[in-house]
Amino acid sequence: MQFLFQIFIKFFKFVFFFLICLIYVRIFRPNIFHKTLPFGLAQITFCFKSLIITVFFLVFIHNITIL
């Protein structure tokens, strides 16, 4: 039961940081090229950038909590 709870907490943290990074990339880092890309491709690159930032922050926070 505790194992499932830990998985749920990790998943929740991932979703939470992913949403924060989506907002950050959309508001503070708008990309000029998104205007020239087709809509679907622009959304994919936008989500991919947010996913990379999310994974980076989660690994960084995980390493800090281990220390």
Residue 16: pLDDT over 70: yes
Six-digit token string for 67: 């220390």
**pLDDT score recorded for residue 45:** 73
The model carries a pTM of 0.49
CA quadruple 38, 39, 42, 46: dihedral, nearest 10: 180
Burial annotation 22-48 (CB, 10 A radius, 16+ → b, else e):
beebeeeeeeeeeeeeeeeeeeeebee
